[in-house]
Amino acid sequence: MVAPIVRFAPSPTGLLHVGNIRAALFNWLFAKRHGGTFILRLDDTDRTRSKPEFEAAIERDLEWLGLTWERKEKQSDRLVHYDSARDRLIASGRLYPCYETPQELEFRRKRLLAQGRPPVYDRAALKLTDAERARLEGEGRRPHWRFKLTPEEVRWDDLVRGAQHIDEASQSDPVLVRADGTYLYSFTSVVDDIAFAITHVIRGEDHVTNSGAQIQMFQALDAAVPTFAHLPLLVDATGGGLSKRTGSAAVADLRERGIEALAVCALLARLGTADPVEPVASLDALVATIDFARVGRAAARFSEEELAQLNARTLHILPYEAVRARLAGDPGEAFWLAVRGNLATLDDAVGWADVVRGPIEPMIEDAAFLAEAAAKLPLEPWDETTWKAFTSTLTSTLGRKGRALFHPLRLALTARETGPEMARLLPLIGRAKAEARLRGQPA
C-alpha cells in the first residue's frame, strides 16, 4: 500500500465528544499502521459559530489522547483556493446560481411532500433567462449556487460498508455556496482533500449520502477519488445520539474525571468490532490491529460504566514509567506495583500514598491482640516475604488465623477495610510506623 494521507476535520464550534474522537482515532491508527500522514484540518468556515476556544480545546483533547498530527490546516486560511475551484465549476457549467428564498424553497418542499413526491429541487433556476436573473438581482436578491449533479448511479467500494451506490437522479443538487458568499462543508472538504492529496476519507456513516455528490465533485475538478470508509455511529447507553453542542460524553469532561486516555482509545477502537475490549499499555497495541474488515455495521453503544471499568483495568497493567510524571512526589515503582491493582482512577493513588507515608489515625479492633502483634514485628530490612513470616508467627504463637488475624492488622496498619496486598504495603510503611499504628498511635 502507498503510504496513506488521512485527515481529521472537526469544526471548532463545540467540544469534541467520543463520537468525534472515534473518527480521529481510526484515521490516526490507519495512518500509523501504514506509515502514512495524519492531518488535522479545522473546518472553520462557519464564521458565527467557530470559536478560538473550541479550536484550542480540540488540539488539547487530541494531544491528551496521543493523536498527534504531522500537519495542521485551517479552512479560513484557504478561501482563495475555494474561490478558484468555484470559478472552475461555474466555467464548466457544473455550478449554477439560484435565487429562491428559504421561504420559497420550504413552500416547494412542503407542497411536494403533500403530493407524496420526494422533495427534490426542480432546477427551476436553470430555466431563468438573463433578463429574469437581472431583474431578481435588481430586487436585491443574491444567488446561492448549486452543484449540478449528473443523473447517474454513483458506486464505490467502502472499506467498512462494502459495495455502495447512490442514485444521484433522486437527489437535489447540493448548495455549495450560500447567498452571502460563504462555502458549505461538502465543497470545501472536497477542495481540500484534493489539495492535500488525501488518499482515504475515514468518517462517520452520517456522511454516506454526501459521498455520491462529493465523488462527482472530485471528478468535475479532474481529481482522483479517495477511498472511503464510513464508520457506524456511536450512540449513548440509551441509544440516543452524541452531540458536541450539548457536551455529551465530552472528552474534556472524561479527562477531568480522571479517565485515562488509553482507556478512551482502547474502548473506541474496539466498540462495534469483532475484537474484545481489552486494556492496552500503549497506542502501539491498537495500531497493530486496526482493520476495517472487523468493523461491524450496527451502531455501537458507548457506556460510561464500561469505560470506567476499562479505566481501572488499564491502570492495573500500566508500568511505573507510564504514570511516574503524574504521581506526586515520585513514590517509586514498588509503591506503584503495590497499589495499581486497587485503583479506579490515578487520583486514588494519592490516598494510598498517604497510607504509606502517614501520618494516619489507625482503626483499632482488638487492642490487646494488636499490642501483642506490635511486640512480635520482625526486625528490618523488610521485603515482600515479611508479611507472611510475621502473620505465620502470630498464628503459631497466638493461635490467630483467618479474619480474626488479618482484619485487625489491616485496619490498624491502613485504616481501611480493604486494599492492596499487605505483603507489598508493609515494607513501604516500614517498621516504625507499623509498630506505632498497631499500638493505636497516629503515624
What CATH number labels 1-99+143-318?
3.40.50.620
In this prediction, residue 177 carries a pLDDT of: 97
In this prediction, residue 278 carries a pLDDT of: 97
Nearest to 314 by CA among 238, 369, 261, 249: 261
* Ranges of each domain in the chain: 1-99+143-318, 334-438
Residues 166, 152: Cα–Cα separation, whole Å: 8
Spelled out in words, what is the top-level CATH class assigned to the domain 334-438? mainly alpha
In this prediction, residue 71 carries a pLDDT of: 97
Query: Does residue 359 have a cis bond before it (omega within 30 degrees)?
Result: yes
In this prediction, residue 300 carries a pLDDT of: 86
Residues 107, 105: Cα–Cα separation, whole Å: 5
| Residue 61 backbone phi and psi in degrees, to 5 | -65, -45
Q: Which residues pair with 40 in a beta bridge?
A: 8, 72
Question: What is the residue-level pLDDT of the chain in tens, covering all 443 positions?
Answer: 789 999 999 999 999 999 999 999 999 999 999 999 999 999 998 888 899 999 999 999 999 999 999 999 999 999 999 999 999 999 999 999 999 999 989 999 899 888 888 999 999 999 999 999 999 999 999 999 999 999 999 999 999 999 999 999 999 999 999 999 999 999 999 999 999 999 999 999 999 999 999 999 999 999 999 999 999 999 887 777 765 544 457 999 999 999 999 999 999 999 999 999 999 999 999 999 999 999 999 988 899 999 999 999 999 999 999 999 999 989 999 999 999 999 999 999 999 999 999 999 999 999 999 999 999 999 999 999 999 999 999 999 999 999 999 999 999 999 999 999 999 999 999 999 999 999 999 99
Measure CA 77 to chain center: 26
Is residue 20 within 8 A of residue 10, CB to CB? The reply is: yes
